[in-house]
């Protein structure tokens, strides 16, 4: 399974074509839209989220709510495009009055992107480097989640830290986390910490600043032995880490208790092996991976998110034509995207898992895939 996506932030639409989804999967726009809505929520999002209420259109690969096995095309219209139709016109325009963006934001793709592609208007970079693109990746992830759901695999994300405020209780089950974040505006399990996180975001916003944080993403009921140790690029944890780093703002990825294990004795952190109707581990410090392969324990992966680059109290930068020092440009912006980034990363994990499963058990039909995975699970139990 693979996909390619396209679309500028204020262009007419975002598009993705996914190839390799088996036939026979139930899929409707509504199943995708609920994830799109989650991405748009979260304390700290900016004005754009009020303008856009993302809805996907499925324009190929599905008939009567069931996938056909042919490429699936997903489209999300940018409702804001009507306000940008001239600035973002596809066809040449004779004359146009608009502000050409010339002062790159520190921490964004503006300057290096312009140097790479030879652009003198930084809008030509920011329109694609913007995380607006993550909307379509969430839609793709929602399709992957449907494949996983048919195999009884679930993914989930929650926020461990925003700025300097972090949760202390870390021993919750998947279901407890799912329930606890339901009413949290920052997708955090602890209501007291949630409130402090919101205050912290408000403080940053008042000062024209931004904050980052740490997200945990989990997957449960993942079959053992996905991925492989035999070649570096077949290690599934490496593929997931790479895919996570592909999300805007992610600056670090670690599995399980990597921060703790790097400063502990081996005897304190290696997950002891036991047998109970199949091999299990007595703990999960390694976040569900050994040798680049799933070991049957829940996958637990954390992503460190930097504070977003656009600041309403901008830092100094340099005008790309005059070379004069100026305050960096401002593009309408959020002040904290950590909860939304969690929804994006959940989709990314879902896609990587579904892709790996299809690679391992390759099938053109969902019924055959389900049978193959069930057979594999049984053979792992019988080992
Ligand atoms: C969901 C999401 C929303 C984002 N929104 C903004 C934003 O409003 N303003 C901004 O400057 N950066 C935003 N970012 C971060 C930038 O897109 C990102 O920092 C930039 O593309 C440079 O990439 P890098 O941080 O990976 O180096 C967002 C990131 C995510 C994941």
Query: Domain of 334: which CATH number?
Result: 3.60.150.10
Q: What pLDDT was estimated at residue 57?
A: 98
Q: Check pocket membership of 333 for ligand 1, CB cut-off 6 A.
A: yes
The two structure tokens encoding residue 244: 């996570």
Q: Check pocket membership of 54 for ligand 1, CB cut-off 6 A.
A: no
Q: What pLDDT was estimated at residue 51?
A: 57
290 CA → ligand 1 middle, Å: 32
| CB contact at 8 A, 82 and 76 | no
The two structure tokens encoding residue 368: 């055959």
Q: What is the dihedral of CA 28, 143, 220, 39, to 10 degrees?
A: -90
- CA–CA distances in Å: residue 94 to residues 87, 181, 250, 286, 301: 12, 51, 40, 59, 51
| CB contact at 8 A, 72 and 22 | no
Give the Cα separation of 69 and 358 in Å (integer).
Answer: 13
pTM for the model stands at: 0.96
Round the CA-based radius of gyration of the chain to a whole number and report it: 22
| CB contact at 8 A, 243 and 231 | no
Supply angle C-alpha 62, 356, 24, rounded to 5: 25
380 CA → ligand 1 middle, Å: 41
Give CA 61 to chain center in angstroms: 24
Q: Check pocket membership of 41 for ligand 1, CB cut-off 6 A.
A: no
Positive or negative, the CA dihedral 170, 46, 155, 226 is negative
Residue ranges of the chain with per-residue pLDDT less than 50? none
Q: What pLDDT was estimated at residue 48?
A: 58
Q: Check pocket membership of 342 for ligand 1, CB cut-off 6 A.
A: no
Q: What pLDDT was estimated at residue 52?
A: 58
Range of the domain at 290: 2-382
Question: Which candidate, 219, 374, 214, 379, places its Cα nearest to that of 306?
Answer: 214
Count of domains in the chain?
1
Supply angle C-alpha 4, 151, 272, rounded to 5: 105
Q: What pLDDT was estimated at residue 50?
A: 59
* Maximum pairwise Cα distance, the chain: 73
Nearby residues of 264 by Cβ (< 8 Å), 6 or more positions away: none
Q: Check pocket membership of 211 for ligand 1, CB cut-off 6 A.
A: no
Among 130, 204, 205, 329, the mutation site with the greatest number of ligand 1 atoms within 8 A of its Cβ is: 130
Q: What pLDDT was estimated at residue 97?
A: 79
Give the Cα separation of 173 and 184 in Å (integer).
Answer: 17
The two structure tokens encoding residue 64: 């009567």
DSSP 109: S
Q: Check pocket membership of 131 for ligand 1, CB cut-off 6 A.
A: yes
Tokens 């975001």 -> residue: 201
Beta bridge partners of 161: 166, 214
Give the Cα separation of 305 and 342 in Å (integer).
Answer: 10
Residue nearest to atom 28 of ligand 1 (CA): 131
60 CA → ligand 1 middle, Å: 30
Q: What pLDDT was estimated at residue 332?
A: 82
Residue nearest to atom 19 of ligand 1 (CA): 249
Give the Cα separation of 369 and 351 in Å (integer).
Answer: 16
Q: Check pocket membership of 334 for ligand 1, CB cut-off 6 A.
A: yes
């Amino acid at each position: 399974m693979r996909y390619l996506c396209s679309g500028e932030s204020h262009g007419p639409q975002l598009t993705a074509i996914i190839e390799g989804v088996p036939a026979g999967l139930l899929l409707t726009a509504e199943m995708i839209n609920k994830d799109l809505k989650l991405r748009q929520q979260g304390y700290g999002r900016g004005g754009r989220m009020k303008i856009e209420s993302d809805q996907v259109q499925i324009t190929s690969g599905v008939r009567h709510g069931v996938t056909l096995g042919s490429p699936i095309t997903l489209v999300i219209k940018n409702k804001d495009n009507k306000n940008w139709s001239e600035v973002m016109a596809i066809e040449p325009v004779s004359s146009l009055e608009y502000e050409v963006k010339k002062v790159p934001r520190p921490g964004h793709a503006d300057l290096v992107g312009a140097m790479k592609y030879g652009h003198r208007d930084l809008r030509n970079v920011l329109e694609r480097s913007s995380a607006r693109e993550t909307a379509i990746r969430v839609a793709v992830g929602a399709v992957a989640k449907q494949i996983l759901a048919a195999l009884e695999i679930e993914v989930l994300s929650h926020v461990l830290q925003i700025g300097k405020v972090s949760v202390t209780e870390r021993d919750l089950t998947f279901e407890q986390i799912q329930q606890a974040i339901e009413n949290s505006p920052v997708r955090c399990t602890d209501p007291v910490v949630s409130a402090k996180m919101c205050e912290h975001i408000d403080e940053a916003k008042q000062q024209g600043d931004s904050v980052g944080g740490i997200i945990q993403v989990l997957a449960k009921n993942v079959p053992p032995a996905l991925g492989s140790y035999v070649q570096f690029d077949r290690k599934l944890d490496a593929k997931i880490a790479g895919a996570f780093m592909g999300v805007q703002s992610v600056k670090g990825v670690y599995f399980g208790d990597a921060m703790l294990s790097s400063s502990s004795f081996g005897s304190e952190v290696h997950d002891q092996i036991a047998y109970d109707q199949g091999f299990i581990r007595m703990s999960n410090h390694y976040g569900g991976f050994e040798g680049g392969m799933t070991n049957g324990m829940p996958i637990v992966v954390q992503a460190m998110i930097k504070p977003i680059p656009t600041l309403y109290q901008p830092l100094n930068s340099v005008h790309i034509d005059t070379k004069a020092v100026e305050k960096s440009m401002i593009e309408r912006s959020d002040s904290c995207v950590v909860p939304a980034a969690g929804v994006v990363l959940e989709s990314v994990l879902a896609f990587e898992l579904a892709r790996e499963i299809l690679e391992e058990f390759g099938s053109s039909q969902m019924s055959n895939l389900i049978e193959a995975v069930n057979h594999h699970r049984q053979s792992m139990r019988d080992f």
